[in-house]
Amino acid sequence: MKTETIESIHEFSGTILIPVFETNAKSLVPIEFGGVRVASKVFYGKKDTHYLVEKYDSMHVFIGIGKDTDYKNLKTIFRRIATKQKDIFAKKVALFIPDDFTDLQIEAAASGLSLGTYNLGHFKKNDIHPFMKDDFMLSILSKKDFTLPFERGLKIAKAQLETFRLVDLPPNVVTPEYLSNWARESGKTYGFSTEIFGREAATKAGLEAFLSVGRGSDKEPQFIIMKYVPENTNSKTKHVGLVGKGITFDTGGLNIKTAGMLHMKSDMAGGAAVLGAMQLISDLKLTVKVTAIVPACENSVDSKAFLPSDVIGSYGGHSIEIIDTDAEGRLILADGLSYLIKNFKPETVVDIATLTGSSVGTFGYECGALFTNNNEISKLLQQSGDSVGERLWQLPLWDAYKSDIESEIADVKNYSGKPVAGAISAAKFLEYFTDDHKAWAHLDVAGVAFGDDEFAKTKHGTAFGVHLLTKFIENL
């Protein structure tokens, strides 16, 4: 796909996308563009509506964006047009930019159009969306040059599309090795380095909690370490650490799941978000140093699987009593956090995981749960999320919950056994392995990383966290 900027449509013939701010259904003034008029009784720019008029050898697509639409809504509106009006992209396409559009609105529109090309039928014969063809030309109709925000929007969407794919592909395709290979290839393409620990290297490193989870699977665990270093670094260059849960499939282990296992290919959505964020951070060439870890393994069942009541070690040197083998995500994150903090010493650390059903019980499918003892980090993460439509809400990390993870036989236990406050006790467990880091945050995104929407008939990946993490790092 290529872009060009044009100032006039006098010689243009094809499809013209025309965003329209909402007026009033009773307005006497019709919507007008390039000699084409639409009466307000028919269309007046109401959000989530559009109207097609074929005239002057062009298809005019009037797109209602409401009175004061936000980033997420605008992105969804343009994604809907690209998805559900695919045929109109078969011709040349021009996007009209209203005079009062901001760079962020252009970014959202570009990102939405690109996301609209996604098709969940990875194993079906599908025609490629015209927008994705190399020779497709999108003309940006504007008096100003908006190439930079438009291209930024495309880069955001490109990283999110990759994340969609990682989460939606089946677990016999997206194995730990698949994720490590993806990281290597992406690093070569976008400019970050990659180091992979297989079972032997992870054993030598002492990543016992991570290895314990993967013991029941024939798929070799992969401890993925990625490093992005911007050009012209100096002593003032900030350093952020990311950790993402990469359970490529979760049976629950010997505490096998009795419901919901069908969707457990999505249990690596936190890891996928970190992988997508690393692509985007590198693609945007941010000026912040980023070190990211995705511990990737499969929680399966066989004679080698770890047992309830086992006591295992960890990279941080703490012993862990296993109460529930289905509370495995926090085990691999514990080793990921300990390894990251001890060896790379980032100033700010964020982990992201589809960790608990408890967070879904609290927030449903509207936002992710945020845990941190750093008020500045909390505000910045929430503001960053709000600005791109990936919302977070903070829950407490009070020491009153510390007893939930106390063990009589080991330093700590991996599950409280209580039917309440599960997301909080999981966060307290992770906090135990952060070595009292002063700028750590945990994001539990179980309710927002994989779900239902208008763009598919079944649950699918949302890429929640890719843009959020990137925006947060950019705003530091």
Distances (CA, A) of 105 to 51, 100, 101, 110, 450: 20, 10, 6, 9, 25
The runs of H, that is alpha helices, within 233-292 are 269-284
Total number of residues shown for the chain:
476
Helix (H, G, I), strand (E, B) or coil at 54: strand
CA pseudo-torsion sign 176, 179, 181, 184? negative
Q: 246: which strand partners?
A: 296
Distance CA 352, CA 268 (A): 10
Residues serving a catalytic function are 257, 330
What three-state secondary structure class fits 335? helix
Q: Scan for tokens 């282990």, then name that residue.
A: 253
Of 372, 427, 364, 420, whose CA–CA distance to 391 is shortest?
364
- Residue among 341, 238, 227 nearest 291 (CA): 227
Neighbours of 357 (CB within 10 A): 14
**Residue of 115, 202, 208, 203 whose CA lies nearest to 156:** 115
Question: Which amino acid does the sequence have at 163?
Answer: T
Please state, in angstroms and rounded to a whole number, the distance separating the CA atoms of residues 253 and 276: 28
Q: Which ranges in 355-439 belong to alpha helices (H)?
A: 357-363, 375-388, 422-431
DSSP 9: -
**389: closest CA among 139, 108, 43, 120?**
108
Phi, psi of 31 (to 5 degrees): -75, 130
Q: How much is the CA Rg of the chain, to the nearest whole Å?
A: 24
Query: Which residues, other chains included, contact 419 with Cβ-Cβ below 8 Å and sequence gap of 6+?
Result: none
Distance in angstroms (rounded) separating the CA atoms of residues 235 and 230: 13
Q: What is the residue type of 246? A: G
- What whole-number distance in Å separates Cα of residue 106 and Cα of residue 276? 21
Distance CA 216, CA 249 (A): 12
Q: Are 327 and 446 in contact (CB under 8 A)?
A: no
